[in-house]
Amino acid sequence: MTALFPFDNSYARLPGRFFARLPPTPVAEPGLIQLNEGLALHLGLSPERLKTAEGIEILAGNRLPDGAEPLAMAYAGFQFGGWVPQLGDGRAILLGELIDRDGVRRDIQLKGAGPTPFSRGGDGRAGIGPVLREYIVSEAMAQLGIATTRSLAAVTTGEQIARETLLPGAVLTRVAQSHIRVGTFQFFAARRDVEALRVLADHVIARHYPEVSQADKPYLGLLTAVIDRQAELIAGWQRIGFIHGVMNTDNTSIVGETIDYGPCAFMDSFHPDTVFSSIDRRGRYAYGNQPGIAQWNLAGFAQTLVPLIDDDGETAATLANEAIQGFVGRFESFDRTGMRHKLGLAEEREGDVALFRDLLTRMANNKADFTLTFRRLSDVADENPVADERVSTLFENPAAFDEWAVRWRNRLAGDSQSAAERRSLMRSVNPAFIPRNHLIEEVIVAAVEENDLAPFERLIEVLESPYEDQPAKQRYAAPPKPEEIVHQTFCGT
């Protein structure tokens, strides 16, 4: 029989100081919660075989698939601005890599797979709550069109893990273009290991950015390409109201995927200062700060590349600095497009950004729901203004919307696209369904307290089509009732 996972590993070929080799730690009693069959097929895997007892044992870390070369990756990072020289995969094991149906190399990693040399006293495990949360949100992000790591499977371990209370343990199979982070570069930069930096940079270029290898200065090309991907990613987050919550450099993917779903959350009512993470007391990673923080994280990346960019340190630093300054322009360009499309504008005109910002200010002052406001805007764009009531009722003071809508309609009239084109443009960027906090909470409570996974399954099904109306699923589109509002989210640890 062919191998269950057709592994083709490249990271395991890198020098030994890049990782620690070790297998996952077996668990008491593996049980399948969910297998992502569509993703499995895309990866060239057999859902039927993954669902057998053997497959589930692999997904729980109790058995190694043929061709696996399990390892925990080394990395460092700035956490909330403070330097931590050694982090690394403290509870994740990379099984190996395979090439998907699109020819893209993907890491297959078990998260919650037991302690590693990087665990720093942690148990190496994950609870069912955070695993369900990551599964739901990462898959929703993928369907929303945002670059992200994916979730192939979630399994229970049959073990309890000790957090504030005892919780059921679980393992998530995470799939990523790679798990290399800005913090991976920082790990070697801090050790002044320029040789390792070069090996790592060459690996990343060959794997993710082959187009820059021909550039005059390939490492500067790499920096610019990573900046571009991050700029696009963060603009995507802003477009859908996603707050990552822990934008540390160890959680900043070198391929520009959203990675490490901990205390992340989607905003309900709009406010730029929104923070959910219980550990983010100063609001460092608030919604409105995300672009600036991304640039700060990228500046850290740039610093690690200085010894590679040019033999002359000063020249290298100048070039790296210029590239970092370029982030703002790149981000704003992606962001402007996002804003325009959210308002249904195909052509770029002066004043569009101001028009968008004015709406956001009115939303913030009136506690308007971010997702619903834009979704309903998509529906009323080409209706008689009488229909605007559907949007204005989302504002504490409906007149705040009505005043703005007059200017918006004037601007729409000057745009050349047809009503049908506008509607489909707006509906393709303004989702009806997002994984709202209170819905995720409901799913986790049912799973943990009642051992009931049906609500989880229903939620992920709705989130498979976030841009469709799904009239029978309106409950999932609604903002939380006051008593349902989730004010804080917690790290998965």
Between 118 and 209, name the residue whose CB sits nearer to ligand AMP: 118
| H helix runs in 24-157, sequence order | 37-42, 47-50, 53-60, 128-144
Task: Assess contact for 220 and 205: CB atoms under 8 A.
Answer: no
User: Of 367, 335, 354, 370, whose CA–CA distance to 404 is shortest?
Assistant: 354
Q: Select which of 228, 250, 260, 335 is catalytic.
A: 250
The widest CA-to-CA distance across the chain, in whole angstroms, is 67
User: Of 77, 25, 91, 292, whose CA–CA distance to 181 is shortest?
Assistant: 77
- Determine whether 193 is an active site residue: no
Query: Does residue 123 touch ligand AMP according to CB under 6 A?
Result: yes
Between 138 and 251, name the residue whose CB sits nearer to Mg ion: 251
Task: Assess contact for 290 and 243: CB atoms under 8 A.
Answer: yes
Nearest distance in Å: CB 244, Mg ion = 11
Nearest distance in Å: CB 90, ligand AMP = 2
Query: Does residue 130 touch ligand AMP according to CB under 6 A?
Result: no
Nearest distance in Å: CB 377, ligand AMP = 36
Give 253's strand partners: 181
Q: Which stretch binds Mg ion (CB under 5 A): 208-216, 254-262, 338-346, 384-392?
A: 254-262
Q: Which stretch binds Mg ion (CB under 5 A): 2-10, 136-144, 250-258, 456-464?
A: 250-258
Nearest distance in Å: CB 401, Mg ion = 40
Query: Does residue 109 touch Mg ion according to CB under 5 A?
Result: no
Query: Does residue 133 touch ligand AMP according to CB under 6 A?
Result: no
Task: Assess contact for 91 and 157: CB atoms under 8 A.
Answer: no
CA atoms of 80 and 85, how far apart (whole Å): 14
Between 279 and 446, name the residue whose CB sits nearer to ligand AMP: 279
Q: Which does 91 bind (CB under 5 to 8 A by kind): ligand AMP, Mg ion, none?
A: ligand AMP
Query: Does residue 200 touch ligand AMP according to CB under 6 A?
Result: no
Query: Does residue 251 touch Mg ion according to CB under 5 A?
Result: yes
Nearest distance in Å: CB 18, ligand AMP = 15
**Cβ count near 472 (within 10 Å):** 8
**Which region holds residue 399: left if phi is over 0, alpha if psi is between -120 and 50, else beta?**
alpha
The C-alpha angle with vertex 256 and arms to 254 and 259, in degrees rounded to 5, equals: 90
Between 72 and 447, name the residue whose CB sits nearer to ligand AMP: 72
For ligand AMP, the binding residue among 10, 46, 119, 160 (CB under 6 A) is: 119
Sign of the alpha-carbon dihedral angle for 151, 157, 162, 165: positive
Q: Which does 246 bind (CB under 5 to 8 A by kind): Mg ion, ligand AMP, none?
A: ligand AMP
Q: Which stretch binds Mg ion (CB under 5 A): 56-64, 159-167, 246-254, 445-453?
A: 246-254
324's enclosing H/E stretch is helix 313-343
Residues in Cβ contact with 461 at an 8 Å cutoff, skipping those fewer than 6 apart: none
Nearest distance in Å: CB 84, Mg ion = 11
Task: Assess contact for 212 and 331: CB atoms under 8 A.
Answer: no
Q: Which does 119 bind (CB under 5 to 8 A by kind): ligand AMP, Mg ion, none?
A: ligand AMP
CA atoms of 76 and 95, how far apart (whole Å): 21
Residues in Cβ contact with 311 at an 8 Å cutoff, skipping those fewer than 6 apart: none
Query: Does residue 90 touch ligand AMP according to CB under 6 A?
Result: yes
Nearest distance in Å: CB 347, Mg ion = 41
Query: Does residue 94 touch ligand AMP according to CB under 6 A?
Result: no
Between 11 and 408, name the residue whose CB sits nearer to Mg ion: 11
**Cβ count near 239 (within 10 Å):** 22
Give 444's strand partners: none
Query: Does residue 122 touch ligand AMP according to CB under 6 A?
Result: yes
Query: Does residue 134 touch ligand AMP according to CB under 6 A?
Result: no
Q: Which stretch binds ligand AMP (CB under 6 A): 101-109, 264-272, 429-437, 485-493?
A: 485-493
For Mg ion, the binding residue among 260, 268, 335, 369 (CB under 5 A) is: 260
242 to 281: interface string for ligand AMP, x by CB under 6 A: ----x---xx--------x-x-------------------
For ligand AMP, the binding residue among 91, 207, 362, 427 (CB under 6 A) is: 91
Task: Assess contact for 84 and 190: CB atoms under 8 A.
Answer: no
DSSP string, 364-408: HHTT-BHHHHHHHHHHHTTS-GGGGHHHHTTSSSHHHHHHHHHHH
Q: Which does 224 bind (CB under 5 to 8 A by kind): ligand AMP, Mg ion, none?
A: none
Q: Which does 122 bind (CB under 5 to 8 A by kind): ligand AMP, Mg ion, none?
A: ligand AMP
Residues in Cβ contact with 253 at an 8 Å cutoff, skipping those fewer than 6 apart: 149, 176, 177, 178, 179, 180, 181, 259
Number of residues that bind Mg ion (CB under 5 A): 2
Query: Does residue 87 touch ligand AMP according to CB under 6 A?
Result: yes
User: Of 341, 367, 355, 460, whose CA–CA distance to 411 is shortest?
Assistant: 355
Q: Which residues bind Mg ion (CB under 5 A)?
A: 251, 260
Q: Which residues bind ligand AMP (CB under 6 A)?
A: 87-91, 118-119, 122-125, 246, 250-251, 260, 262, 491-493
Q: Which residues are catalytic?
A: 250
